[in-house]
Amino acid sequence: MKQKETMLNTMGIDLARASFEEFGEEHVGTSLETPLREDAFEMDDDLKVELIEKHFREIMNILGLDLTDDSLKGTPHRVAKMYVKEVFAGLNPKNKPAAKLFENKYKYSEMLVEKDITFHSHCEHHFVPIYGKAHVAYISNGNVIGLSKINRIVQYYAKRPQVQERLTMQIGNELKEVLGTDDVAVIMDAYHMCVSSRGVNDTNSSTVTSFFSGKFEVDEQSRNEFLNYVSLKK
């Protein structure tokens, strides 16, 4: 009886693992919001670094690496610090950039385009890099935002485990809220290391996602103007 239960448990684990593998390969996101537990920020960053360092050291041990080697002994701490304070810093709301609006005194009524914003993110299915360019446009409804703040918003949402579709929508929705206008467009063109360095091993393909709202959604001329600015055809 015990042997049968063990066999059933093993089968269940194998089926679950197979399901996870299939889901991960499909690069499917589950929600617009990044999946976070309610207690995600009850633990301070220093403790998170300490705990991740401990667990990553164990991963390296399991892989058979010699942690007494001068090149490797500091790696667990470096990885932990990188995760918490750098590449996944966008998970913490306290790191969200403050976006100050300014009156559009020049009365500039055409679209403003910030193109070729470099971003680095990580695939939430395999924790390997996603990197590329973001192109953002908006049409002022009376207020403007500092150009660097657009870059910072892109970086903030990129610095978390992501799915590119979600990242694109999060940036678009954030700009709509900050600017107080529906007239926002975002295009992201990115390379996924989970595609190029594992799995299918395709090193040439990139993924393009878009977000069109307001005039960019309903007015073909505005949308085409934006696409021409970023040198992407319909």
Q: Is 126 a catalytic residue?
A: yes
Containing 104, the helix (H) or strand (E) segment is none
Mean pLDDT across 197-203: 66
Q: Out of 126, 135, 170, 174, which one is annotated catalytic?
A: 126
Domain final residue, candidates 62, 89, 116:
89
Q: Give the C-alpha separation, 156 to 148, whole Å.
A: 12
Quick check: is 28 in a domain?
no
Task: Report the alpha-carbon distance of residue 200 to residue 48 in Å, rounded.
Answer: 34
Catalytic residue, from 53, 155, 174, 194: name it.
194
Give the per-residue pLDDT at 217. Answer: 97
Q: Is residue 26 annotated as part of the catalytic site, yes or no?
A: no
> Is 124 annotated as catalytic?
yes
Q: Tell me what the mean pLDDT of segment 33-43 comes to.
A: 95
Asked whether residue 156 falls in the same domain as residue 205, the answer is yes
pLDDT of res. 199: 63
Please pick, among 53, 122, 162, 192, the residue that the annotation labels catalytic.
192
Same-domain check for residues 167 and 79: no
Which residue among the candidates 123, 135, 155, 162 is catalytic per the annotation? 123
141 and 45 part of one domain: no
Claim to verify: residue 114 and residue 224 sit in the same structural domain: yes
pLDDT of residue 204: 74
User: If you count them, how many residues does the chain have?
Assistant: 234
- Domain shared by 120 and 84, yes or no: no
Same structural domain for residues 185 and 141?
yes
List, in sequence order, every beta strand (DSSP E) within 124-228: 129-139, 143-145, 161-162, 184-192, 207-212
CA dist 196 and 54 (Å) reads 30
Whether 14 has a pLDDT exceeding 70, the answer reads: no
Residues 79 and 173 in one domain: no
If one counts every other C-beta atom within 10 angstroms of the C-beta of residue 78, the result is 11
Please say which residue of 89, 124, 151 terminates a domain: 89
Q: Are residues 175 and 210 in the same domain?
A: yes
Residue of 122, 125, 135, 162 marked active site = 125
User: Regarding predicted confidence, which is higher, 64 or 198?
Assistant: 64
Q: What is the dihedral of CA 84, 87, 92, 97, to 10 degrees?
A: 140
Number of domains in the chain: 2
CATH number at residue 84: 1.10.286.10
Instruction: Inform me whether the pLDDT recorded for 21 exceeds 80.
Output: no
In a domain, 6, yes or no: no
Least confident of 3-7, 128-132, 144-148, 221-225: 3-7
The answer to whether residue 45 sits within a structural domain is: yes
* Res. 39 pLDDT band, cuts 50 70 90: very high
**Domain match, 52 and 85 both:** yes
| 155: annotated active-site residue | no
CA 38 to chain centre: 20
Judged against a pLDDT cut of 90, whether residue 22 lies above it is answered with: no
Check whether residue 222 and residue 117 sit in a common domain.
yes
| pLDDT at residue 197, rounded to an integer | 66
Whether residues 141 and 214 share a domain: the answer is: yes
Decide if 14 is inside a domain.
no
pLDDT tens, position by position, 155-167: 999 999 999 999 9
Out of 135, 155, 162, 164, the active site residue is 164
Query: Judging by beta carbons within 10 Å of its beta carbon (0-12, 13-18, 19+), is residue 196 exposed, middle or buried?
Result: middle
Asked whether residue 30 is assigned to any structural domain, the reply reads no
Domain encompassing residue 143: 101-229
* Catalytic-residue membership of 192: yes
